[in-house]
Amino acid sequence: MSRKGDYFGLGRIVSIILAIIPVTSLICGILTRFSEGKILAGILRIVLGWNIIWIIDLILMILSGHILRICPL
């Protein structure tokens, strides 16, 4: 299955809309990272999700269609 967007395989436009809204971006970001098995990245998203990571995810989602993945664990 090929990924169309970064949030659960949704389309790019839907993923961008979800990334614009801070609450949905936080929830989808946490769920996406936990579903990939990246527990540490999910915990970091919970702690830092309302500020720096949200802005970076929003910019990257608009430009490339993918969210930032800085933590491989």
Cα distances (Å, whole numbers) of residue 29 to 6, 10 = 9, 13
Mind listing the pLDDT tens digit for each residue in 14-54? Answer: 888 888 888 888 888 888 888 888 888 888 888 876 678 78
CB-based contact 25:55 (threshold 8 Å): no
- Closest by CA position to 44, among listed 62, 29, 56, 25: 29
Q: What are phi and psi of 66, to 5 degrees?
A: -135, 150
The pTM of the full predicted model, rounded to 2 decimals, is: 0.72
What is the Cα–Cα distance from 30 to 24, expressed in whole angstroms? 10
CB-based contact 49:30 (threshold 8 Å): yes
